[in-house]
Amino acid sequence: MCYAIPGKIEAIAEKTVVVEYFGEKRKAYNELDDLSVGDYVYAQGGFVIQKIPQDEAESILSVWKETFFDLQEVDLKLSRLDLNQESVSKECLRILDNAAEGRKLSREDILVLIKEKNKSALELLFKVANFLRQKHHKNSCCVHGIIEISNYCCADCAYCGISRSNKNVTRYRMSQKEILEAARQAIEEHGFKTLLLQSGEDSGYSIEELAEIVRQIKANWPALIFISFGEVGLDNLELLYTAGARGLLLRFETSNPKLYKQATGGKDLSSRIAHLKKAYALGYLIITGSLIGLPGQSEEDLLNDIFLAKELHAEMYSFGPFISHPQTPFTGNPSASTETMLKVIALARIIDSAHAKILVTTALETINPDARREALLAGANSVMLNATPLKYRPLYNLYPLRAHEKESIEVQIKDTIGLLMSLGRSPTDLSV
Ligand code: 5AD
């Protein structure tokens, strides 16, 4: 299965190349040595990751061409917008009309939307977000793979099931050999073009070992590598970038410094922000966002979360509902509702229409099995599938009953492709 469409190099200006896909042109950053105009490549997240032989590219393109335009048509139909809704208040209609027209909303307007409870108004909000997603990103949907390499963590977050204080967790740490084999399978057998390596803040790997894992994957298989190892230290971010990592997933968890301290066992938000800023300066693609529904979090906090993610140059937004874990201090607190989650996703789309890739998180699917479809129709355009070896999956127990925990990667891929096709989405990363 293939998660990218081959593109043809149209122009090269130093490291920047123009790639053409079925008549559409995108810019990408090239780090390959031997690239010429006319070559076919795969690009992901704005990076050229692989050159492919012309005959192979042409045969893949001929298969894609059939479905590509059909899918776009289905998507276009599903994202049509009709703002003539009698059951929605005039004020809400005014705000949503401005949003659909691409005018900037005031903070007050956004607060009105986040506080909105009327079902028809919310349906319209989600439709506006879907309309903007289609307008700016067409029907592409990123499908990335994730490998959870270790559940050791030296942090003590009050919400998290794998925090160091939870003595009931069976800990695991994949060896370099196991990680490379999981990466090989994900890239070579399952066709992932972007792979995220994730772990708790695990001092059991030295930074040199992590860098070597990234280097080895890059040396052996064509893929864009994202990392999510927590706060590794500012200098180590540079080391991992040099090794070949090009994306950083690090949530700031909440934009509210007081709440952050409470939720993380006394840590300072500024350190997390410093990591995200440094990573951006180094050239990492930033994936960030927050936990929605933390005890004591306000609606204003949620807005600030979206604005902070934008300020930090999120290439991809990752918002997930807090889910209570019985062996943590935050046990017993309610999860955010699907409705709140969809509001946050839709507002992120409205606030950063043209730029945002927005992830449907596993936590959201855990609180609502239909959430992937609902979120994709409310502004989201990105999913991550879990390619961690099945025997380790239940041990990465951030919260109970994680969606897809027991599903093989083959089943996840099949279901995802089926859903995307039904919504007219292409499992590709073209919005670069
Ligand atoms: N509920 C939802 N998400 C959680 N995470 C950790 N614990 C929970 C929980 N109980 C999320 C955090 C972290 C990511 C790896 O998992 O936001 O950044």
Q: Does 78 reside within a domain?
A: no
Digit-coded pLDDT (tens) for 183-217: 999 999 999 999 999 999 999 999 999 999 999 99
Digit-coded pLDDT (tens) for 18-44: 999 888 898 999 999 899 999 999 998
Assess whether 143 and 273 both reside in one domain: yes
Digit-coded pLDDT (tens) for 126-145: 999 999 999 999 999 999 99
Q: Counting atoms of ligand 1 from 1, which one is nearest the CA of 251? A: 18
| Cβ(148) – ligand 1 distance below 6 Å | no
End-to-end CA distance of the chain: 21
**CATH number of the domain residue 275 falls in:** 3.20.20.70
Q: Which of 47, 65, 83 is the last residue of a domain?
A: 65
Contact of 290 with 255, CB cutoff 8 Å? yes
Give nearest CA residue, ligand 1 atom 3.
Answer: 322
Give dist(CA 139, CA 423) in Å, integer: 9
392 DSSP 8-state letter: T
β-bridge partners, 316: 287, 357
**In the predicted model, what is the mean pLDDT of the chain?**
95
Domain span at 259:
137-422
Residue 161 token pair: 């099931």
pLDDT at 1: 37
pLDDT at 2: 44
- Beta carbons within 8 Å of 330's beta carbon, 6+ residues apart: 158, 159, 263, 294, 295, 322, 324
Pocket test for ligand 1, best of 152, 156, 157, 160 (most atoms within 8 A of CB): 160
Q: Where are the beta strands (DSSP E) in 193-292?
A: 194-199, 224-228, 245-249, 285-288, 291-292
C-alpha 163 to ligand 1 mean position (Å): 10
Residue 143 token pair: 């499908």
Nearest to 431 by CA among 5, 76, 100: 5
pLDDT at 427: 86
In degrees and rounded to multiples of 5, residue 194 shows phi and psi of -130, 130
> Which of 136-140, 270-274, 300-304, 348-352 bottoms out in mean pLDDT, i.e. has the lowest?
136-140
Nearest to 320 by CA among 398, 267, 418, 412: 398
pLDDT at 66: 81
| Cβ(39) – ligand 1 distance below 6 Å | no
Residue 181 token pair: 């084999």
| Cβ(272) – ligand 1 distance below 6 Å | no
Assess whether 45 and 171 both reside in one domain: no
Instruction: Indicate whether 3 pLDDT > 70.
Output: no
Q: Which of 29, 46, 65 is the last residue of a domain?
A: 65
